[in-house]
Amino acid sequence: MHRLEIDHISLRFGGVFALQDVSLHVGAGELVAIIGPNGAGKTSLINCISGVYQPATGAVRFEGRDVSRLKPAARTRLGLARTFQNIALFKGMTVLENMMVGRHFHQRTGLITGGIYYGPGQREEIAERKLVEEIIDFLEIEHIRKKVVHTLSYGLQKRVELARALALEPKLLLLDEPMAGMNAEEKEDMARFIVDVNEEKGTSILMIEHDMGVVMDLSHRVCVLNFGKKIAEGLPLEVQGNREVQVAYLGAEASA
């Protein structure tokens, strides 16, 4: 059984198809990249998986369960987490506070018990804080843990967003252009952390990324979209050598 199965989904806005009959799977512990030119439907696919959009046809299955009609919060409880193309942090809160928001779905104490901060509420808070601190150490952001997010550099904000997603303890992590706008050093760090999340934590990852060097180095498999259709899928080197991919995405001349 695959961790994620996309089964012939289609999505359209009015008369425009954002996705057409797209199928894809992600296995347990697998890192799959989605590539394609702008407007190819990559983020629309992530939105269908996370529950922001509901496909017109087809199904999204998570660990064998059809989640196509579940709300985003329900999918999060099952073990899906995501980051966004445009950073979606609470920028007036600290790094630690943003990460504790990510633990919200795992808290069991009620509003009154948690608010009193005594007994079960206190014990749960301590346990949640311990897990968050482990993620802070994992992503090497101890030095900014108490800083307000809007004061941080863009690259560090991207890392904090990854940290908040990891605080949800996902089985499947959806990354929408995690390295967009970063310099070379920041990309190296983020690539290392993504590999560590995949290999050390065993988290399945579905990643949209435009940097072909990153895609080739990190991915187990690559899926290529163009105008909402899947035009190729396979090992990174196979996809890189695919003529249709070269024409659609890498800028090769169709007549060459």
- 139 secondary structure, DSSP code: T
CA–CA dist 89, 147 (Å, integer): 13
Instruction: Give the model's pLDDT for residue 45.
Output: 97
Query: Averaged over 66-84, what is the pLDDT?
Result: 94
Mean pLDDT, residues 198-218: 94
pTM of the model: 0.88
| Domains identified in the chain and CATH numbers | 1-79+170-256 (3.40.50.300), 89-168 (no CATH)
Q: With bands split at pLDDT 50, 70 and 90, how would you rate the model's confidence at 255?
A: very low
233 DSSP β-pair partners = 223
Neighbours of 7 (CB within 10 A): 17
Q: Is the pLDDT of residue 152 over 90?
A: yes
pLDDT at residue 249 in the model:
67
| pLDDT the model gives residue 11 | 97
**Is a pLDDT exceeding 60 seen at residue 121?**
no
51-to-14, 108, 118, 174, 226 alpha-carbon distances in Å: 19, 24, 36, 12, 22
What mean pLDDT is reported for the chain? 89
Q: Given pLDDT bands bounded at 50, 70 and 90, which one contains residue 102? A: confident
User: Band of the pLDDT at 188, cuts 50, 70, 90?
Assistant: very high
State the DSSP H helix or E strand holding residue 17, giving kind and residue range, or none if neither.
Answer: strand 16-26
